[in-house]
Structure 1
Amino acid sequence: MSRPHPHRRLRLVTGGALAALLVVAGCTSNTPETDSSSGGTDSKAVSANDDPGKKVVIGFSGPAADHGWLAAINSSALAEAKKYDDVELKAAEGTNDASLQISQIETFINDKVDAIVLLPTDGAALTDVATKAMEAGIPVINVDREFSSPFAARTTVLGDNYGMGVSAGTYACKVVKDKGLDDAVIAEIAGIDSLPLTQDRSKGFKDALKACGQNVDNRVAAEFTVESGEKAASNLLQAAPKIDVIWNHDDDQGVGVKAAFDNADRHEFAFIGGAGSANAMRWIKDGSMAATVIYPPTQAADGIRLARLIAQNKGLSDLVQVEVPKRIVLNAPVVTKDNVDDYMALGFES
C-alpha cells in the first residue's frame, strides 16, 4: 500500500492561503521536477556536495516491508547510501514492533553513529529514544511519521497527505471542466477512516473540489488492502449507477479497486489513484487509469542524503542558507499520460 501511516501530519492551510495553494497545485501538480528524485535513478545533484567528504556512519531503522510502499521506502534508502563512498550505512531489520525499534536506536547510540535516519513504527513511542540520541549529539532525521516533540529530530522529511487530496481534487476539477460536465458525480474510496492521514487526504480533496464548485457525492472507506479495496469499490459501484470521477487514496489498495471495476465492467469514469505504484504507472500508460498522485516512496532516501550533509556540516547547495532546513514537506504531483515516463522509475511494486 502507499503506505498510509497514523502519524503523518499535514501542513495547515487556511483562508486565502488555501485558494493560493489550489492555484499553485493546478499549475504545478502535473509538472515533473527537472531534478532527479532521490532513489529513482543513479543521478545525483550536480554540486560540490556530491564530492567525497568526511566518512560518516549512518544508522537506518524503518518499518517491516509488508507492502509495496514500505518496501520501496526501505530499498530506496539502502540504494541511496550505496551511491556515496563516504557513507557507511548500518541498517537495522525492519520492524513494526516499537520496543524492538527503540532497542535498535539504543544500539546506534551506543555505537556512536554520526547520524540516524528513522521512520518510526510509532512516532510518539519513539520520541524519547530519538531525543536521547539528539542529546548524545547524534542528529536524527525523522521520516514520514512525526515525533511528538520538536527536540527529537534535527530534520523531519514528510510526504503531504493534505496536498495529495488537493492535487487529486484539482485534477478532478480539470476533468469536469475539460469534459464540460454540468452535474458531475464524484466518488472517493478512502483508506482507514480513523487515521489522521486519511482524514487529511479527504479534507484536501473536499477543499479542492469546493474551490471549483464540486463535492464528493459518494464515499466509501477501505483498509489499505487489496481485498478491502475490491469490496469497498464493489459496494460503491452498486450504490452509484453513474460516476464521472473516482479518487482512490492508495494504489496498493487500488489493485482490488480496479478488479472491482473490471468485474463490473464499469470504466465510464476518470480513475485517479494515490501514492504512485508501478501498477498505477502501467495503467496510466495503457489508458485504464487517468492519473495518480505521488506520495513519495523516496522519503527515507532523502533522509539518507540529508543525514550525510548534516553529519558533514554541509547545507543544501540550492539554498542560500548554510544549514539543512528543519522541516521538509515533499510535493504531491499528479502523474498523467503526459508525464508518466518521468515518474516511472519511482513506481513501487504492490
Structure 2
Amino acid sequence: MSHLASRRGLLFGTAAVSAGALLTGCTSNESTDDKTAGGAEPVAEKSGKHVTIGFAGPQADHGWLNAINDNAKKRAGTYSDVSLEITEGSNDIAQQIGQIETLINKKVDVLVVLPADGKALTQAGLKAMRAGIPVVNLDRIFNSAQAYRCWIGGDNYGMGLSAGRYIGEKLKDKPDARVIELAGLDNLELTKQRTQGFDDALKNYPNIRKVARQAAEFTVESGQAKMAQLLQAQPTFDALWNHDDDQGVGALRAVEQAGRDGFLMVGGAGALSAFQAIKQDDGVLKATVLYPPTMAASAIDLARALGQGKGVGGLAEYEIPASVTLYSAVVDKDNVDQYMPTGFR
C-alpha cells in the first residue's frame, strides 16, 4: 500500500459497521448548551462527579482528523465536571502506545482512543481495561471487544445507502436514468463498503442504471483527474456520487473546466466547502452524506457517562451501549444551515 493509501486507510478506519443512531447529549446531567462543541448541544443540567478523560487521538494531517481533535476538546470544555488529558496526536503506532501508557500511569478515569491502527493498538486498549480504566474506542476499531467498553464510529455502508436513496428519489420518475460513481481508494475496505451500500440502494430503482465507476485517491488532485476521465467517457448522465468531499473539490473543478451541468452531484463526509456549495446552490453539488467528526464529541459524552456511572439520556438502560454506529445523514439545501457548524476544513 502506498503512503497515501496507508494514510487514508488510517484516516477512515477499516471496520465494517451497520446502520445505527446518532448519539447527541449522552449523559442525563449535561452541564451547558454550548453549540460550538460539535453536533447537537448537550442538555443543560447540573454537573456531576468529576471525571478525568484521557484522549489519544490522531495526527491532524487532514481536515477530518483535525475536526476529530477539535470536537473532543470543545466538548470536554463545555463540562465543568470534566478534565481532559490530551496527548499530541500521532499516526505512529509505537508513539501512540507510549502515550496511552502514560495516560494509564496518570490513572485517568476513562480513556478515549482513536487508534493509528486498530489491530496494532489492541494491546494498549486491553492494558487500560485490565487497569480498570474503561476505554471508548473511536472509529478505527480494536480487533478484540475486550479492549474497549464502548465503540463509536461512522458507517461506510450507510454512506452508500444514503447517497443511493437520495439519488434514487430524485431520479425515480426519469426513464433510463444514468448514474456514475467517483469512488475512493479501491484497496480499502471502506471504499468497497460505500460502493456496496450505493449499489444496494439503487436496486430499489429499476429505472436507474450505474453506467460508470472510477476510483480516485481521496485527494483534490486525483478527484480532478479521475472526474475529467469520467466526463470525457460519459457525454450524458443524470447523477454522480462522489465518496469524499476532499476529492470532490477536484471533481467540481473538472466539471467547471468541462463546462458540464445537467446532472446532480452528491458528496461524502461533510466538509465545510461542500456545505457552502450546497447552500449557494448554483452548481451541480446538491447534497453530501455524512461521516461526522462530531463522533469525537459524542465519545467525550460517553466517557463522561462511564466515569459518572450513568446511562445515555433518552434510553432506559442503566449503562451506555456497547457500540454506537452513527447515521449517515443527507445534508442538502433544506438542512445545511443546521449542519454548517460541524463542517470541517
Q: Same fold (TM over 0.5)?
A: yes
C-alpha RMSD of the superposition: 2.3
- Kindly report which structure 2 residues correspond to 1:92-107, keeping only aligned pairs within 5 A, or say none: 92-107=87-102
In structure 1, what is the equivalent of residue 198 of structure 2?
205
SS of equivalent residue, structure 2 residue 98: helix
Corresponding residue of 1:18? none
User: Which one of the candidate residues 302, 313, 318 is aligned to 1:306?
Assistant: 302
What is the match of residue 186 of structure 2? 193
Structure-1 separation of matches of 2:335 and 2:25:
12
The structure 1 residue matched to 2:16, chosen from 9, 13, 30, is 9
Deviations 1:227-255 (A, max 9, x none): 11111111111111111100000111111
- Partners of 2:306 and 2:25 lie apart in 1 by 24
Superposition pairs for residues 107-146 of structure 1, below 5 Å? 107-146=102-141
Matched, 1:51 2:43: no
Q: 2:237 aligns with which of 228, 243, 247?
A: 243
Q: What are the superposed Cα offsets for residues 261-312 of structure 1, whole Å, 9 maximum, x if unpaired?
A: 1111112210100011111111111112111101111111111111011011
Q: Which residue of 2 aligns with 1:332?
A: 328
Distance (whole Å) between structure 2 residues aligned to residue 272 and residue 105 of structure 1:
38
Which of 142, 147, 160 is the matching residue for 1:165?
160
Per-residue Cα deviation, 1:169-211 (whole angstroms, up to 9, x for no partner) = 001101112xx32111101011111111111110000000012
**What's the counterpart of residue 259 of structure 2?**
265
Q: Distance in 2 between matches of 1:281 and 1:2?
A: 24
The residue aligned with 2:339 is 343
SS of the residue aligned with 1:293? strand
Contact 1:3/1:69, CA 8 A, preserved across alignment: no
Partner Cα separation in structure 1 for residue 318 and residue 211 of structure 2:
49
Distance between the aligned counterparts of 1:291 and 1:341, measured in 2? 13
1:291 partnered with 2:303:
no
Q: Distance in 2 between matches of 1:173 and 1:116?
A: 41
- CA distance in 1: counterparts of 2:102 and 2:39, whole angstroms: 32
Letter in 1 for 2:297: A
Separation in 2, partners of 1:5, 1:325: 22
Distance (Å, rounded) in 2 between the aligned partners of 1:111 and 1:314: 23
- The 4+ residue runs of structure 1 with deviation greater than 6 A are 33-38
d(CA) in 2 for partners of 1:2 and 1:173? 29
User: Given the superposition, is the C-alpha separation of residues 83 and 66 from structure 1 closer, same or farther in structure 2, using an over 3 Å criterion?
Assistant: same
How many angstroms apart in 1 are the aligned matches of 2:292 and 2:64? 9
**Post-superposition CA distance 1:120-168 (Å, at most 9, x none):** 1100000011011001100000011111001000000011110110000
Change (3 A) 1:42 1:339: closer
Q: TM-score w.r.t. structure 1 length?
A: 0.89
Counterpart AA for 1:219: R
Look up the SS of the partner of 2:267 in the other structure: strand
Partner of 1:80: 75
Q: CA deviation at 1:215?
A: 3.5
**Cα distance change on mapping 1:272 and 1:2 into 2, 3 Å:** farther
8 Å Cα contact 1:9-1:146 kept in structure 2: no
Alignment-mate amino acid for residue 125 of structure 1:
A
Give the TM-score of the pair, scaled to structure 2: 0.90
Per-residue CA deviations over 1:59-80 (Å, capped at 9, x if unaligned) read: 1011111111111111010000
- For 2:223, the equivalent position in structure 1 comes to 229
CA distance in 2, matches of 1:2, 1:242: 33
Q: Paired residue for 2:272?
A: 278
